[in-house]
Every structure is written in structure tokens, then in C-alpha cells.
Amino acid sequence: MDPRDETWEIERPSYRVHFHDADGAQVEYELRGVDVAEVLAWAKAQAAGRSYVAYVCVPP
């Protein structure tokens, strides 16, 4: 995909953060009204030894 072809922009997307613990349990949070740097800082602070993945949510 060529980014120059894009004609839309989402100024404040929502984000989903999935935390995974060593036992395979997963918990998910949706964050709104924040930017990606804030999402990553929040996820790092909340991780408590768990791994995590952050996703950007965009409309189809």
C-alpha cells in the first residue's frame, strides 16, 4: 500500500491492548482519547510481568 494513495485520516483512533500471562490467560482493554505514545506507556505500566500487544482500531 502506498501511503500517498490514502485520502482519510483518523485523528483520535481507539486502541485495544491485550495482556497475556504465563498461564495463557488474556485480558483486553480499549483506550480512547489518547495517542499511541500514551497507550504504550499505559500498557508498560500495567503489564506487571505480562506480555502485551496493542492494536489500533479503525472503522472498516
> What tens digit of pLDDT does each residue of 2-54 get?
666 666 777 778 999 999 999 989 999 999 999 999 999 999 999 999 999 99
Q: Is residue 16 part of a domain?
A: yes
Within a domain: 49 = yes
Helix (H, G, I), strand (E, B) or coil at 16: strand
Q: Is the dihedral of CA 49, 25, 27, 51 positive or negative?
A: positive
1, part of any domain: no
Q: Which residues contact 29 (CB under 8 A, 6 or more apart)?
A: 16, 17, 19
Evaluate whether residue 5 is within a structural domain: no
Residue 38: inside a domain: yes
Structurally, how many domains does the chain consist of? 1
**Neighbouring C-alpha atoms within 13 Å toward the C-beta of 45:** 6
Domain extent for 45 = 10-57
pLDDT of residue 33: 92
Which pLDDT belongs to residue 60? 73
pTM of the model: 0.79
